[in-house]
């Protein structure tokens, strides 16, 4: 009985970055399927809870890292779900800040894994892809934070994005900002959402620059790993 369980555990851990990559796609892909704002909030929170939990599993190579990641996840989840009940913007902003810290922590650990790799394995590639998607989510939370501090930070085309009445839950904006963040990260620039303040323009341009630099540097690094591995095989 223990042998099959151990094999399953080994399979899950071996493919942990693939599962994290899939979970990161879920919050973005379910948006067109949401019919109401309430359902949107519930599914967004549930899908992002999945991201956080799988993220802990993905970075759990060492016990102290897993404990730190789990502590951040528990705090973020407690703040997120409590803010639904009491509708406190302080709790919402604190929850967003903790989510940003956790995602940044995960990105750092994944980047360390990629840098320590000596061969371009599927794990290395999926870890690199996860970093790219996580950057998009970090900026989405950052945009939500800025929008709550200053409601004029971003302009939304009213014909495409229904106005959210003041006092509604801040996470109502997060779907918009997930879309906008990946639009900026990939420099798509459709213009349906635009940064409308000097701070938001600066943060958006930083994301665009970082997204392009990351792709160039990471692709170059992975190609270098592949060439080094091929040269090592030929020399031996």
The predicted structure's pLDDT at residue 207: 95
The predicted structure's pLDDT at residue 140: 93
The predicted structure's pLDDT at residue 165: 55
Supply 3's token pair.
């042998």
The predicted structure's pLDDT at residue 19: 85
- What does the alpha-carbon distance between residue 64 and residue 138 come to, in Å, rounded to a whole number? 23
Q: Beta strands 154-156 and 193-195: pairing type?
A: antiparallel
Q: What is the pTM of this model?
A: 0.86
Q: Please choose, from the candidates 34, 70, 81, the residue with its C-alpha nearest in 3D space to the C-alpha of residue 178.
A: 34
The predicted structure's pLDDT at residue 233: 67
The predicted structure's pLDDT at residue 196: 92
Domain assignments of the chain as residue spans, ordered by start: 12-235
**DSSP bridge partners of 154:** 195
How many helices (H) and strands (E) the chain has is answered by 8, 2
- What does the alpha-carbon distance between residue 58 and residue 27 come to, in Å, rounded to a whole number? 18
The predicted structure's pLDDT at residue 36: 57
The predicted structure's pLDDT at residue 167: 45
Which portions of the chain are predicted below pLDDT 70? 1-5, 9, 31-45, 61, 84, 87, 163-172, 231-236
Q: Please choose, from the candidates 197, 193, 182, the residue with its C-alpha nearest in 3D space to the C-alpha of residue 27.
A: 182
The predicted structure's pLDDT at residue 87: 67
């Amino acid at each position: 009985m223990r042998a099959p369980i151990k094999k399953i555990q080994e399979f899950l851990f071996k493919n942990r970055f693939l599962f994290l990559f899939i979970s990161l796609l879920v919050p973005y892909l379910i948006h067109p399927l949401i019919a109401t704002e309430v359902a949107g909030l519930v599914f967004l929170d549930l899908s992002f809870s999945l991201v956080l939990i799988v993220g802990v599993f993905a970075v759990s190579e060492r016990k102290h890292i897993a404990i730190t990641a789990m502590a951040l996840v528990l705090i973020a989840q407690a703040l997120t779900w409590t803010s639904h009940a009491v509708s406190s913007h302080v709790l919402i902003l604190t929850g967003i800040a903790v989510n940003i810290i956790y995602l940044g922590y995960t990105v750092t650990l994944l980047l360390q894994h990629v840098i320590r790799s000596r061969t371009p394995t599927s794990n290395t590639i999926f870890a690199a892809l996860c970093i790219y998607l996580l950057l998009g989510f970090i900026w989405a939370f950052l945009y939500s934070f800025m929008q709550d501090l200053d409601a004029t930070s971003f302009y939304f085309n009213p014909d495409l994005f229904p106005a959210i009445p003041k006092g509604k839950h801040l996470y109502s904006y997060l779907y918009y900002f997930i879309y906008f963040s990946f639009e900026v990260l990939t420099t798509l620039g459709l213009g349906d959402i635009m940064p409308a303040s000097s701070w938001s323009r600066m943060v958006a341009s930083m994301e665009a620059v970082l997204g392009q630099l990351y792709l160039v540097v990471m692709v170059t690094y992975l190609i270098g790993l592949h060439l080094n591995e091929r040269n090592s095989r030929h020399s031996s």
